[in-house]
Structure 1
């Protein structure tokens, strides 16, 4: 009895130890983000001038910052913000990019030319500079960071979706549905999107890592989350002033960014290997 392609994918993913480690790290970050109000030992924005720049200790395992705020509490709450920005920003680009890419690949012709030329214009700009330009126009803030990340990721989703749709739109079952008079919307929703979803899943995981890194970079430049919000990039920016006297202020948020980006990349690589037909050999 033939097995479902998704079951085979899960089996191949489960054999990839690096991907499983990455998945475990992602789960830990998600749990920390969801339980942040209960895990954090202190209020992340409460100032205590009596413990300014205190080195790591039992009372403050990661130390305190220049305002006496507990660094562990800020890192834990920062996981909420970083994951929210990354996931929401990618969801925006996922919905818009897949919709445009599907329409472009399915209808072709003038529709394809118009959509792809617009995508080419967006891709002409480096991603981070495009996000920076959007934030400069909209103003700093977490919501605008999500919008900027969503916009600069649209061309990538659009092109990947278009390629997948072009590869399957001439399959026999698609032509059979068209010959039976099925509506375009029905064909797209029922046949095209479900059968072109594999590369989108891989891209989504990898783009979340890119989105978190970009959001941290924007916050580091003062264009993202604003003080006293405990965002990792903003914490890294504040800590650079004390890199000689209190290096942990840079090291802790820096490692947090590194590990969460590494985790999503490891999961994305594992999904790519599991969904790649060549890996069946």
Structure 2
């Protein structure tokens, strides 16, 4: 509740949170909200303009653009969130084991992370999708394979900062198990760093799945997805630019909201950073007021 209160104090963070939450809710309730089935073909309405029945018009097959935009939230946003949680969960487990037990286990796990992080993420995702084949399942598997190492590194660093604390040593002396110590004493400290990295990674994953679908390596027809909608509208991008602009603007707005929310989340989870920013803003305000008084005099 305190975190939510801090986020809501920031207007931009509150607006970003509303955009992200509303998008997810619309995606979950797509069958109830979408005015038409997303794959319903009606060639009589091919490239029809906006109307009361079709608010955003129809595409090259006469399908409802608004319905496809709503259903496109599911692969572009919701399934990407599932892949993000799987990556963060796997990376957190590896980071906890490596940072807490250390020794040879730490060496082997971190060398594996170094190998995974040595390759450009987007290029390796393309390579994995190219090997496994296009499709939602393969894209999500590629995301998990390429993203877990980042979370493992961040979690390991956070765990190592706390593992030698006095209260952790005392818990070991009292006979507490390693699992209990990690879940009760270390996890609350490591979670903020993990949450910040996860929120910033979420936006890049949305861009990646949209980019892969735009290239024809992602979601396959007839399923609706924002990147694929832009790909399908390339042939009429000059005569019917709205068919490409609508999903493109949706991607831009959502990714921007996620990034703004990530920045606000970092400030909310780091009280020192928040105090420093307030102090800087206060100092800047004093300097400006003094400057105005001098110029007035």
How many pairs are equivalent? 275
Larger radius of gyration: 2
Higher relative contact order (CA 8 A, sep 6+): 1
Matched residues in 1 for 2:251 and 2:236: separation?
Answer: 19
Match of 1:253 in 2: 247
Matched residues in 2 for 1:20 and 1:88: separation?
Answer: 23
TM-score (norm 1): 0.93
Alpha-carbon distance, 1:280 to partner: 4.6
The 8 Å contact of residues 85 and 211 in structure 1, kept in 2 or not, is answered as no
Matched residues in 2 for 1:195 and 1:169: separation?
Answer: 10
Matched residues in 1 for 2:54 and 2:221: separation?
Answer: 21
Match of 2:151 in 1: 157
Q: Does 1:10 align with 2:4?
A: yes
The 8 Å contact of residues 64 and 70 in structure 1, kept in 2 or not, is answered as yes
Matched residues in 2 for 1:271 and 1:228: separation?
Answer: 37
1:173 counterpart SS class: helix
Match of 2:112 in 1: 118
Match of 2:133 in 1: 139
Q: Does 1:216 align with 2:213?
A: no
Alpha-carbon distance, 1:138 to partner: 1.5
**Unmatched 5+ residue regions in structure 2?**
276-297
Match of 2:196 in 1: 202
Q: Does 1:46 align with 2:37?
A: no
The 8 Å contact of residues 24 and 78 in structure 2, kept in 1 or not, is answered as no
The 8 Å contact of residues 52 and 65 in structure 1, kept in 2 or not, is answered as yes
Match of 1:103 in 2: 97
Matched residues in 1 for 2:4 and 2:83: separation?
Answer: 27
**Unmatched 5+ residue regions in structure 1?**
1-5
Alpha-carbon distance, 1:247 to partner: 0.9
Alpha-carbon distance, 1:89 to partner: 0.8
Q: Does 1:75 align with 2:75?
A: no
Matched residues in 2 for 1:62 and 1:137: separation?
Answer: 37
TM-score (norm 2): 0.89
Alpha-carbon distance, 1:64 to partner: 1.0
